[in-house]
Amino acid sequence: MISATRWQTEAAAAKHLQQMAFLAAKLISTATASSCLCIFLIFFSLSSLTRSSTEGEPTPTPWPHQFHAILFMNYSGILQKIDLWYDWPNGRNFNIIQHQLGKLLYDLEWNNGTTFFYTLDFNKECSSAQLEVGILRPNWLDGATYLGQKHVDGFLCNVWQKVDFVWYYEDVVTKRPVHWVFYTGREAHVMTFEVGAALEDAEWQVPAYCFDKNTNADELAIADGVLRGSMALSM
């Protein structure tokens, strides 16, 4: 029982690390299976050492099975707005990433590990990735270390840290997420959080040109946007 839960928790967090490893490798044009695997394994061995929980401490509220959130992201002054549609029952997750005065990028992740990154403009850019783990589980914050309370964005929050990967801030009163920060410094500010909101099926259609073998010329340009985008799930 315990080991199954631990596996699930770690797999969820590991997904992000794996995504980052994958995309970082892609960015520097040296993507190899071995480099991803190596980082993944290092992460795994570290994470099993850092697990502890103390009785009486608050625990993060699990994510609702369906929600829509608008996030403002800041990564070293690069700003994005992300529409996040989390849809656990249907095994899918969407990040619709608006770069400030720039590209609108769609990052659609399926629970079977298939992920598509595309634009819907005349450039018809699309690339895909096959990850070994699916979308974040609603309880992906289980086992996080409680760090106490802090004011952030004007809200009093409980703060947790998940295996040196993400710092997560949740409103003490409403239990809604307010803010999270990845170890890279990329930060998300939660602007809206609509529990139960679901995007209709038609909006989850990947454009036909994603299945056209000739449209991957801009793969690197897309990967650049996604490196920042995928980390939003982020978690």
Q: What does the binding site for ligand NAG look like in residue numbers (CB under 6 A)?
A: 74, 76-77, 79, 110, 112, 114
**Cα–Cα distance for residue pair 221/22, rounded to 1 Å:** 15
For residue 41, the minimal CB distance to ligand NAG (Å) is 23
Tell how strand 66-75 and strand 187-195 pair up.
antiparallel
Contact 79, 100 (CB under 8 A): yes
Give the count of beta carbons closer than 10 Å to the beta carbon of residue 206. 15
Phi and psi, residue 159, nearest 5°: -125, 135
Selection from 63, 61, 59 nearest residue 144 by Cα: 59
Query: Quick one: 69 or 144, whose CB is closer to ligand NAG?
Result: 69
Selection from 178, 177, 186, 171 nearest residue 75 by Cα: 186
For residue 49, the minimal CB distance to ligand NAG (Å) is 30
For residue 72, the minimal CB distance to ligand NAG (Å) is 8
Q: DSSP per residue over 109-158, as a string?
A: EETTSEEEEE--STT--EEEEE-SS-SPPTTTTTTPEEEEEEEETTEEEE
Query: Quick one: 125 or 187, whose CB is closer to ligand NAG?
Result: 187
For residue 9, the minimal CB distance to ligand NAG (Å) is 23
Residue reference for tokens 């994470």: 47
Query: Quick one: 90 or 123, whose CB is closer to ligand NAG?
Result: 90
For residue 76, the minimal CB distance to ligand NAG (Å) is 5
Query: Quick one: 79 or 191, whose CB is closer to ligand NAG?
Result: 79
Query: Quick one: 30 or 76, whose CB is closer to ligand NAG?
Result: 76
